[in-house]
Amino acid sequence: MPLTIADLMSKMPGAFLPEKAPGLEAVIQFHFTGNEAGDWYAEIKDGKVTVHQGVHPSPRMTLTADSSDYIKIFTGELDGMRAFMEGKLKLSGDLNLAMKLTQMFRIR
């Protein structure tokens, strides 16, 4: 069964590596287009991640991508930096946080 955006978002808390983000407090907004269009946000606080469906009023960073491209990035089929350079992944807000994302989560 193929991975869905809901699957990926539900796995985020378990994939978080708190030792890679000491003292970090941030909200990351995810805006997905395509087959699984929708909005989700991840709140990083006190060494934990909680994920919610919807739009946060003041995220520190927003990531926008086609849902199928994001799944490919998450599973390693598509390089995140390449997707960004090709315009498949758009980022706004704190870009330093975006660079740390790949280190803060165990990506399989």
Q: What is the pTM of this model?
A: 0.92
33-82 pLDDT tens trace: 999 999 999 999 999 999 999 999 999 999 999 999 999 988 889 988 89
DSSP symbol at 82: H
Which helix or strand (DSSP H or E) is residue 27 part of?
Answer: strand 26-33
| Top-tier CATH class for 5-99 | alpha beta
Mean pLDDT of 5-11: 94
10-20 pLDDT tens trace: 999 999 999 99
Return the bridge partners of 61, or none. Answer: 28, 93
Q: Where are the domains of the chain?
A: 5-99
Distance (Å, whole) CA 73 – CA 46: 27
